[in-house]
Amino acid sequence: MPPTPRPLRKLGFLTIGLFDESDPARGHESTLELIQLGERLGFDSAWLRHRHLQFGISSPVAVLAAASQRTRRIELGTAVIPLGWENPLRLAEDLATVDILSGGRLNPGVSVGPPMHYDHVKDALYPDSAEAEDFGYGRVVRLLDAVRGKPVTDFSGTEGFETFSDRVQPHAPGLGDRLWYGGGSLRSARWAGEHGLNLLTSSVVKAEDADGPWDFAAIQQEQIRAFRAAHPDGAAARVSQGLVVIPTDSATPGQRARYEAYAAARLPRTERPQGPGHLLFAPDLVGPAEEIAARLHAHAGFREVDEVAFALPFTFGHEDYVQILTDVATRLGPALGWQPAG
Relative to beta strand 180-182, strand 204-206 is: unpaired
Burial class (CB in 10 A: 0-12, 13-18, 19+), 310: buried
Query: What's residue 263's pLDDT?
Result: 98
User: What is the C-alpha to C-alpha distance for residues 246 and 257, in angstroms, rounded to an integer?
Assistant: 12
For 52, 240, 302, 313, 316, the CA distances from 16, given in Å and listed in that order, are 11, 17, 22, 8, 11
Query: What's residue 1's pLDDT?
Result: 43
Query: What's residue 210's pLDDT?
Result: 75
User: What is the C-alpha to C-alpha distance for residues 283 and 203, in angstroms, rounded to an integer?
Assistant: 8
Closest CA to 58 of 66, 70, 50: 50
User: What is the C-alpha to C-alpha distance for residues 59 and 245, in angstroms, rounded to an integer?
Assistant: 25
User: What is the C-alpha to C-alpha distance for residues 246 and 316, in angstroms, rounded to an integer?
Assistant: 11
User: What is the C-alpha to C-alpha distance for residues 188 and 80, in angstroms, rounded to an integer?
Assistant: 14
**Amino acid, single-letter form, for residue 284:** D
Relative to beta strand 75-82, strand 106-111 is: parallel
Q: How confident is the model over 278-295, as pLDDT tens digits?
A: 999 999 999 999 999 999
Cβ atoms of 139 and 79 closer than 8 Å: no
Record the pTM.
Answer: 0.96
Query: What's residue 209's pLDDT?
Result: 85
Listed as ranges, residues in the chain with pLDDT below 70 are: 1-6
**Amino acid, single-letter form, for residue 171:** H
Is 93 in a helix, a strand, or coil?
Answer: helix
**Amino acid, single-letter form, for residue 251:** A
Is 2 in a helix, a strand, or coil?
Answer: coil
Query: What's residue 5's pLDDT?
Result: 59
Query: What's residue 342's pLDDT?
Result: 75
Domains assigned to the chain: 10-335 (3.20.20.30)
User: What are the beta bridge partners of residue 15?
Assistant: 48
Cβ atoms of 317 and 34 closer than 8 Å: no
